[in-house]
Amino acid sequence: MVRNFTSWIFGILFFSFERSLSKLSDGETVPLGIVDLIFICLESIYNKVAHRCKNVPNLSLNNLLQCQVQCTERERERERERVEDIHTKP
């Protein structure tokens, strides 16, 4: 879980940096401070998880991690069922 979370953070940082570079090439001013990068990362994480957990009422930062874990478990279960179906069908 920690490795997955860490790779997710680095992916978001890389995506944010790439986006900043593309905006710089377009002539826009881009905040490249560490605080800005942290907020961009947190917003990206929240938006990704919120999209996956859109059916959860009153989604807040408090239950965001719990929802992420539940979504991941559901996805793994679906993948297991899919693999079992492939192997059991003649």
Along the chain (90 residues), what's the average pLDDT of each consecutive run of 10 residues?
A: 62 63 55 64 69 60 62 78 78
pLDDT of residue 42: 72
**Number of domains, the chain:** 1
Containing domain of residue 13, as a range? 2-88
pLDDT of residue 76: 79
Beta carbons of 30 and 23 less than 8 angstroms apart: yes
Beta carbons of 57 and 38 less than 8 angstroms apart: no
Query: Which pair of structure tokens corresponds to residue 55?
Result: 């059916």
pLDDT of residue 86: 79
pLDDT of residue 31: 53
